[in-house]
Amino acid sequence: MQDWWRGAVTYQVYPRSFQDTDGDGVGDLPGITARLPYLADLGVEAVWLSPFFRSPMKDMGYDVSDYCDVDPVFGTLADFDALVAKAHALGLKIIIDQVLSHTSDQHPFFAESRASRINPKADWYVWADPRHDGSPPSNWLSVFGGSAWAWDARRKQYYLHNFLTSQPDLNYHNPAVQDWALDVLRFWMARGVDGFRFDTVNYFFHDPLFRDNPADFRVKVEAEGNPYGMQYHLFDKNQAENLLWMERIRTVLDEFGAASVGEMGESHHAIRMMGEYTAPGRLHQCYSFEMMGYDYSAGFFRDRIGGFFQGAPEGWPMWAFSNHDVVRHVSRWAKHGESGEALAKQAGALLLSFEGSICLWQGEELGQTDTPLTLEELTDPQGIAFWPEPVGRDNTRTPMVWDGSANGGFTTGTPWLPVKAEHAARHVEGQLGAQGSVLEGYRTMLAFRKASALRDGKTRFLTVGEPILAFQRGEGEGAILCVFNLSPVTRVVTVEGVSLPVGPGRHAGLAEGRLTLGPNGVAFLPVTGAVSLQD
């Protein structure tokens, strides 16, 4: 189907934590294959696999040493081919991560590049001479702490690493690097991959003059836990050449009919940049971390969604509330006295009502929260470096919980991260078919989205005060008014131009033009005329 991705729902799988089949405590590709029927029955249309390539695992696979092979901990290329075949038989698309802005320092290319300044790969990474006093060539910072420059005694130069020192950045100013990256994409598309999620999509190019970044223009009273956010990243990423590179990528994807989504790693202007990166001829979709913060207000969602479509009418967003890098949204948004389960159900209905494509993070359909971990239990280099906060990423990456058995049915061995009691209580077996469960709420909502204007109808927001969020999806026959009470306190609004609620609404009732929304209430109302809403 042409443009299958437009408005589709993708489910993110973290291979280490989804299903282990060999008892080593780490999830694997055969485990994912075995669980694909669950995802098909859930109602998603695509599955995004986080990295499973050969890697020393310094950053859990986001440090790749061989882009065209499977790491033995996850299985083999034959296992991957079997996964793709099973997914396609179930009607699911497969999207895989591509971590192309940097490699592992154990990649053969980097070993060759650091050996001398005159070998064939000498210019494949970002190398720079020290300043006269021996300090790094610029003030650029690593996302994982400290300088983004590491000294290499072999070349007597610094190399750039936006993340770990073991993740050197490739030099995309070199056309040969671009050609190699496109060949990697061709390799996987030839194996049947339906699309790619591009990691850190705005990091490919750097300022060749290595100019210093200015301080963040926003006033800061005190230092942050991670000083990376104290700079305005004007020169170490977000370069104009990035957009031309997106166009090269798109040309190759179009040869195979594959789709793309870019991860916009940016704290300034992220919504605007999502539009730029998804302009015609560039990426198909783009998502940012804008909705993965702590604001859960009507004004926030109106601003972000309305701002995107106003600024980029030809672009296309992918919205997500959580992923493998952030605190799970139920943990972020739960207020004092609020039911986490009620919030989980509402957040699912809210996200799946948005115009755009949607990405679900594994376990959010169960209402999972972050798992508290001790420093000794952490494996994440970011979490260890900045302990106690930011807390890192292991808390959200704990294993999927399938049933009430030991380790939640994830493994017969010792899981790579613990499955603790609160986490284990929310499992698939206990919620599947259970009326009123978070999982059944997601299943119902996914089916409702597919069969209604929520899939492709345009959005028109209604002006109403906090904590009520209201917007119409679609026009004319089939149009739906979506109303959400983003609080744990009952609210009543007056509404005209609609009929009785339909679909998977919760804690909502309409009588004599008055819509009552209970705590975290949701209502979907068919539009019958000119809609108005007042609180």
Distance CA 181, CA 196 (A): 13
Write the DSSP assignment of 317-385 as a string of letters: BEE-S--TTS--HHHHHPPTT--HHHHHHHHHHHHTTSSSEEEEETTGGGT--PPP--GGG---HHHHH
| Closest to 168 (Cα-Cα) out of 185, 146, 151 | 151
HSE-CB at 323 with a 13 A cutoff on CA atoms is 22
Distance CA 152, CA 317 (A): 40
| Closest to 483 (Cα-Cα) out of 517, 455, 454 | 517
Distance CA 518, CA 346 (A): 11
Distance CA 352, CA 441 (A): 11
Distance CA 221, CA 179 (A): 45
Per DSSP, the three-state class of 25 is: coil
Quick check: 197 and 263 in contact, CB under 8 A?
yes
A 10 A CB-CB count for 218 gives: 10
**Residue 298 φ/ψ, nearest 5 degrees:** -60, -40
Report which secondary-structure segment, H or E, holds 81: helix 77-89
Among the options 199, 236, 365, 380, which is catalytic?
199
Please report, as a single letter, which amino acid is at residue 302: R
HSE-CB at 504 with a 13 A cutoff on CA atoms is 27
Among the options 3, 183, 254, 255, which is catalytic?
255
Q: Quick one: tokens of 420? A: 């603790």
Segments in 390-515 forming alpha helices (H): 421-424, 428-431, 438-450
Quick check: 484 and 346 in contact, CB under 8 A?
yes
Distance CA 273, CA 247 (A): 15
Q: Is 255 a catalytic residue?
A: yes
Give residue 196's Cα distance to chain centre. Answer: 12
Q: State whether the Cα torsion 492-497-500-502 is positive or negative.
A: negative
Distance CA 109, CA 125 (A): 9
Distance CA 141, CA 98 (A): 23
Distance set, CA 420 to CA 370, 400, 414, 426, 508 (Å): 11, 11, 13, 11, 35
Q: Is 199 a catalytic residue?
A: yes
Which residues form the catalytic set? 199, 255
